[in-house]
Amino acid sequence: MIRVLVADDEPLIRAGIRMILTSADDIDVVAEARDGREAVETARATAVDVALLDIQMPVMDGLTALAEMGRAAPGVRVLILTTFGERENVLRALGHGGAGFLLKDSAPQELIHAVRAAAAGNAYLSPAATRHVVDTLVSPAATARGEEARRRLAGLTERERQVLALLGEGLSNADAGARLHMSEATVKTYVSRILTKLDCDNRVQAALLARDAGLEPTGG
């Protein structure tokens, strides 16, 4: 059972999210919070697998809570759920180690899928959030980012580059393994090595590096 914490300052929003998530047989909303500080304290004191955080909350906003939660409850996977999809918010969330980012107008099944992906250790970006990230790739800073990303990827083996390219496409370990004719456990080992070599906190950061570097999937 996936144990979820929902943090939003609006009771109706929390109730709606709870109703959606608990409709899935494998998800249970075990705690709620009204602000970022309460979310951090709850995550520290409660057995939680995934936390859903709104950005705009009193006392402490969701992005600050995300960073705090990484220190207070490092085992919790955090999804940012908000009406605000500005690319700065998306990149800040990912930079703080968030497991994903989706908008409040996402379909119920997308929310459930995102929670499952986060609990499995995978990243999730909603299509709308992905567009904001892609926008940054054509900004004036894109060239410098690309050069830095390619420099960091230079130390990877060919197989590691193949795995990383599939992370950049958002594939799970199982899907990447199927594409490369490897077991899921083997892919997981490669991902761990890649994160260590690239000094990335999570697979989302590694995926963004792959995109910045223009890394394209090759065959199995």
Summarised one tens digit per residue, pLDDT across range 169-201 is 778 888 899 999 999 999 999 999 999 999 998
For residue 103, give both structure tokens: 């908008």
For residue 50, give both structure tokens: 């995934």
Give residue 28's pLDDT band: very low, low, confident or very high (50, 70, 90). Answer: very high
Q: Which residue has the tokens 């969701």?
A: 62
The count of other CB atoms within 10 Å of the CB of residue 197 is 16
Q: What's the CATH code of the domain at 189?
A: 1.10.10.10
Structural domain ending residue among the three candidates 107, 135, 163: 135
Structural domain ending residue among the three candidates 90, 116, 135: 135
Domain count of the fold of the chain = 2
Mention every residue, 6+ apart, whose C-beta is less than 8 A from residue 192.
Answer: none
Q: Do 146 and 100 share a structural domain?
A: no
Q: Write out the residue range of the structural domain in which residue 107 sits.
A: 2-135
The count of other CB atoms within 10 Å of the CB of residue 131 is 13
pTM above 0.85, yes or no: no
Q: Do 82 and 146 share a structural domain?
A: no
Q: Which residue has the tokens 């590096």?
A: 209
